[in-house]
Structure 1
Amino acid sequence: MLVLSRKKGESIIIQDQIELTILSVEGDTVKVGIKAPKHIDIFRQEVYLSIKEANKESAVAPTQVNLAALMERLKAGQ
């Protein structure tokens, strides 16, 4: 992990496309502004993990049901 120190108003640039700017520091809270292309998704970690888990759950159950239904249809069509 790269660790950088920044002050309020200072920025970090990532690959000419993403700019992180420190907007404010209040106690233990740091506000960060992010400029990035619209095609790049940006999430807080807890939201990202929740989305990832929901996608994992929805990918497992319906796939098994859909495969079983598809096999039934294929057998019926023969």
Structure 2
Amino acid sequence: MSQSTITFRIPDDEKELVSEYAKAHNSSLTELYRNAVLDKIEDEIDLKTLQNAIKISKEKKEMGISQDEMEELLNEV
């Protein structure tokens, strides 16, 4: 798999904070930044998926149930 390099600038105090965080979590700066960006992208995709599901549910005039009702149904299985 080919790889690319991305360079960006951050203030020295932020770099120190991020470096210490990475060190405390036994992670490299590369791993930390890559995971943070990918997590952010995944969260945004998940949010858009949820919003779309809610929109479709409203258009179909579907009725939801409470968590308690769902747990009762699951306990019956």
Bin of the TM-score, shorter chain as denominator length: 0.3 to 0.5
Higher strand share: 1
Greater relative contact order (Cα < 8 A, sep 6+): 1
Task: Report the TM-score, using the length of structure 1 for normalisation.
Answer: 0.41
Question: TM-score, normalized by length of structure 2?
Answer: 0.41
Q: Rg larger in 1 or in 2? A: 1
Structure that is richer in helix per residue: 2
